[in-house]
Amino acid sequence: MKKTWKQKLHHNSNILPEVKEIDHPKLIEQTGAGKMVIPAPLELDELMRAVPKGLLITTDQLRRYMNEKYDAVYTCPLCTGIFTKIAAFAAEEEVEDGTGKGYGWWRTLKPNGELNEKYPGGLENQAKLLRNEGHIIISKGKKMFVSDFKSAIYNL
């Protein structure tokens, strides 16, 4: 049986976050020696839920937050992206199945204010939800961005 998004959100909650010393030479060359974090989906979900209407955060902010919290030099960007997607879909799922009220997952952007095509409903849905909160969306090729997103950044 296929797991629900909420089950995916809670999957590995007994072992994540994982904090360990960086041992890969290329990563050490890129980031310097120190610890790396594989974040917990539930922790990212909690941070995403905290963003008030009209404000925004980026996945880079989430990663910096994890670095500071766990005294690390690197938080995996791939895992952060995957887990924010899972959190977004889990929020939609809780509204659909009546187990919760969801939250403004659409306020979490990729670096540089870019919208995430992998979130529920794709770019157009995220753009619509952000416009509803007063943000201006601009298109650059196939990508979409929040104009002047830095002025609406929420400090974690």
Instruction: Give every CB contact of residue 100 below 8 A, 6+ residues apart in sequence.
Output: 91, 94
Residue 154: the pLDDT is: 98
Cα distances (angstroms) measured from residue 144 to each of 21, 52, 140: 36, 22, 6
Against a cut of 0.85, is the pTM above it?
yes
Q: Which pLDDT value is given to residue 128?
A: 98
What integer pLDDT is reported at residue 20 of this predicted model?
96
Residue 37 pLDDT: 97
- Which tens digits make up the pLDDT trace of 84-126? 999 999 999 999 999 989 999 999 999 999 999 999 999 999 9
- Residues (pLDDT < 50) of the chain are none
User: What structural domains does the chain harbor?
Assistant: 5-152 (1.10.10.10)
State residue 56 phi and psi, 5-degree precision. Answer: -140, 155
Question: What tokens were used for 72?
Answer: 């690390």
pLDDT of residue 1: 86
Longest CA–CA separation in the chain, Å: 48
